[in-house]
């Protein structure tokens, strides 16, 4: 019930989308090393998902985490300074903080989890090299308003600062969700991080990438990759090609699951408004509602999973050394197909314990 990825599909279902040539490329491929940058046709296919990128701007990774690591390692050094939004996916904070000084800029729940660009500007130092953002945001599902996004780009352009934008939930949300333009398309020092894991629901492929117009940064990350995964899995690259050719079909399927599930959460929280404060997300398949119970969110989540087998992430998981983060929220997911079963178990848990007992 807390998953951050869309419903996965089987190997059989994905291969059913393949053309005969793609099927042969998968089954008949040579199982040697592939290219460190990624297969040329894969990089071209990835570049085609952007407005202004070429295959030369694409570097593939074994998942998104390797890309996050590589970007921080090549952009930052001990004399640098980094800015990250909070709350955040752990490595967006711990990696820069392990290299240099870092400053957290909190998203504001009363402002739909938006980013105050003035606070970012105030955090900039002469040695600031990197700003890391993530929209749609994990865990809130917020999408930054376009005018603030453009203001952030102009601010970073003025100071020569790189922007690493974790865009792994781009394309996922209710049908018709308006997503931000990819940072690599609108900023010469923008690094667009993406992966097959989240919006596509194919984490088993372990294929991610960074798109970036800065050839020097791409080259440095490629050289570092020789000390990491060296290259991607060849079979995974062939399967990713199939998925990318069917991008619209797969994303439509996954967004349709969100369309079906999100109203169920609306109804649940309407029934339990005395216990939860519901803030509808802008995109992705996650939300970050507030828990009002006197027992606290950690105790609630612990009893829920131990007694009823329903897992939520308490917001304490998203604690930060860079500043305070919410302690009364939980991350829930609605990108999977079995929501009704989970909601039934959740409702049964609340009935057994009694709202009065936990409020």
| Helix locations, 135-233, DSSP H | 146-159, 183-186, 215-225
Nearest to 174 by CA among 260, 62, 99: 260
User: Contact 62/36 with Cβ under 8 angstroms?
Assistant: no
The sheet that has 330-333: what strands, in order across it?
Answer: 286-287, 330-333, 313-314
- Within 13 Å, how many C-alpha atoms sit on residue 91's CB side? 12
Q: CA-CA distance, 231 to 60, in Å (whole number)?
A: 8
Q: What would the two tokens of residue 46 be?
A: 């990835």
Strand, helix or coil at 83? strand
Q: What's the residue count for the chain?
A: 359
pLDDT in tens, the chain (359 residues): 999 999 999 999 999 999 999 999 999 999 999 999 999 999 999 999 999 999 999 999 999 999 999 999 999 999 999 999 999 999 999 999 999 999 999 999 999 999 999 999 999 999 999 999 999 999 999 999 999 999 999 999 999 999 999 999 999 999 999 999 999 999 999 999 999 999 999 999 999 999 999 999 999 999 999 999 999 999 999 999 999 999 999 999 999 999 999 999 999 999 999 999 999 999 999 999 999 999 999 999 999 999 999 999 999 999 999 999 999 999 999 999 989 999 999 999 999 987 534 43
Q: Which domains does the chain have, with CATH numbers?
A: 11-246 (3.40.640.10), 249-352 (3.90.1150.10)
Its pTM stands at 0.96
> 158: Cβ–Cβ under 8 A, 6 or more apart, which residues?
none
Q: CA-CA distance, 119 to 107, in Å (whole number)?
A: 10
């Amino acid at each position: 019930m807390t998953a951050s990825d869309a419903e996965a599909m089987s190997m059989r279902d994905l291969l059913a989308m393949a053309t005969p040539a793609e099927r042969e490329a998968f089954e008949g491929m040579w199982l040697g090393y592939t290219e460190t940058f990624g297969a040329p046709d894969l990089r071209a296919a990835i570049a085609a998902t952007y407005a202004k990128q070429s295959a030369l701007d694409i570097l593939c990774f074994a998942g998104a985490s390797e890309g996050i690591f590589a970007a921080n390692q090549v952009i930052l050094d001990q004399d640098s300074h980094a800015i990250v939004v909070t709350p955040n996916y752990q490595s967006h904070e711990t990696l820069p903080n392990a290299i240099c000084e870092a400053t957290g800029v909190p998203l504001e729940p009363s402002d739909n989890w938006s980013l105050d660009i003035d606070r970012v500007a105030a955090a900039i130092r002469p040695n600031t090299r990197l700003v890391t953002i993530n929209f749609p945001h994990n865990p809130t599902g917020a999408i930054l308003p376009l005018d603030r996004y453009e203001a952030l780009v102009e601010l970073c352009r003025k100071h020569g600062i790189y922007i690493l934008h974790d865009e792994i939930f781009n394309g996922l949300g209710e049908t018709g969700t308006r997503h931000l333009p990819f940072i690599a398309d609108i900023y010469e020092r923008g690094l667009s991080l993406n992966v097959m894991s989240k919006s596509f629901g194919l984490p088993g492929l372990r294929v991610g990438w960074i798109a970036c117009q800065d050839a020097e940064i791409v080259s440095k990350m490629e050289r570092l990759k020789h000390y990491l995964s060296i290259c991607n899995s060849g079979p995974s690259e062939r399967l990713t090609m199939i998925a990318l050719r069917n991008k619209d079909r797969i994303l439509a399927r996954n967004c349709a699951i969100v369309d079906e599930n999100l109203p169920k959460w609306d109804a649940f929280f309407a029934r339990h408004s005395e216990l939860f404060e519901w803030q509808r997300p802008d995109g992705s398949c996650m939300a970050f509602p507030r828990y009002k119970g006197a027992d606290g969110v950690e105790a609630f989540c612990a009893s829920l999973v131990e007694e009823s087998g329903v897992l939520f992430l308490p917001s304490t998981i998203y604690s930060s050394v860079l500043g305070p983060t919410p302690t009364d929220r939980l991350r829930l997911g609605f990108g999977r197909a079995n929501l009704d079963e989970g909601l039934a178990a959740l409702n049964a848990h609340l009935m057994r314990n009694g709202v009065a007992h936990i409020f």
